[in-house]
Structure formats: C-alpha cells, structure tokens
C-alpha cells in the first residue's frame, strides 16, 4: 500500500498518523506534511509510526529533516513505534540517540523531557 497521512491536534502538540510504506517514492509526501505543519506554526510533533509497514533511509532522512525544522523553532519531534523491524533501522543508523521513541501516543504526548 501507499502512504497515508493524517494529523490531529493533541493540546499543544500535533500527532501525525502515518500508515503504509515510507520509501524513496512516498517520503516526499511525508516531508511536505511536516513542512506544512512547521510553516503553520506547529512545532511540537508526535509521529505515530505504529502502522508503518516499511521504512527506508530516505524516510529516515525526512524524519531528520523534520527534527531540524522543529528544533529551529525550539520545538520537538517524537516518534511512537514498538515494531521491532522498524526500530531496527533506527538502531542500525544510530538514530535511536537522536529521536525520543515512545511506546504509545499517550506517552509521547505526556512527555516533558
């Protein structure tokens, strides 16, 4: 399946629900979504990746780009992911040290660190 994206506010934060495959073809859609959010003043993002079926390095690049953008506004970008096959890619690339990764949206939204 392709990528499907939806967003919803959760207090001060915005949850981006991502489902499907994030790859070299679909990653630009995710990038546009993140750029749009930051341009509209949403700087604290929670990206729910529980329904992501595939993630490649291009997708990682878009997430890192998103992180840079929100940080430029002193914002935050948190990920929600418990899928081992997706987490593995963050570990391989050392990005578990870069992104706060949470077990649930509730946990990410409540997080203050």
Partner 1 sequence: MAEVELRIDPLTSHVRTARQVAVALARRAGVAPDVLDEVRLAVGEACGLAVALQRRDDDPEPVVLRFEDGDGLAVQVRGSTGLAVAQGEAAIQLLSDAAVTDEDDDEALPAGAALAVLSELVPGLQVATGPAGPRLELRWPPG
Segment contacting partner 1 by CB under 8 A, of 6-14, 37-45, 64-72, 104-112: 64-72
Residue 92 interacts with partner 1 (CB under 8 A)? yes
Write the Ramachandran bin of 33: left for phi over 0, alpha for psi from -120 to 50, otherwise beta. alpha
Least distance from C-beta 101 to partner 1, angstroms? 17
Q: Is 51 in the site for partner 1 (CB under 8 A)?
A: no
On whether the CB atoms of residues 53 and 47 are closer than 8 A, the answer is no
Q: Is 68 in the site for partner 1 (CB under 8 A)?
A: yes
Query: Among the candidate windows 10-18, 41-49, 55-63, 74-82, which touches partner 1 by CB under 8 A?
Result: 55-63
Please state the φ and ψ torsions of residue 32, each to the nearest 5 degrees: -60, -40
Q: How far is the CB of 98 from partner 1 (least distance, A)?
A: 10
Q: Helices 84-92 and 57-71, interaxial angle, to 10°?
A: 70
- Binders of partner 1 in range 8-47 (CB under 8 A): 21, 23-25, 31
User: Is the Cβ of residue 35 or residue 109 nearer to partner 1 in the bound state?
Assistant: 35
Distance in angstroms (rounded) separating the CA atoms of residues 32 and 55: 17
Cβ distance 7 to 33 under 8 Å? yes
The site for partner 1 (CB under 8 A) is made up of 21, 23-25, 31, 54, 56-58, 60-62, 64-65, 68, 85, 89, 92-93
């Amino acid at each position: 399946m392709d990528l499907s994206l939806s967003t919803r506010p959760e207090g001060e934060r915005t949850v981006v629900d991502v489902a499907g495959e994030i790859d070299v073809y679909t990653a630009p859609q995710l990038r546009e979504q993140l750029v749009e959010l930051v341009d509209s003043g949403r700087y604290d993002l929670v990206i729910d990746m529980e329904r992501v079926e595939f993630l490649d390095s291009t997708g990682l690049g878009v997430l890192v780009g998103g992180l840079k953008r929100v940080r430029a506004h002193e914002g935050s970008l948190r990920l929600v992911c418990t899928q081992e096959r997706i987490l593995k890619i963050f570990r391989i690339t050392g990005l578990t040290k870069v992104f706060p990764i949470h077990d649930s949206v509730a946990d990410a939204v409540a997080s203050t660190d």
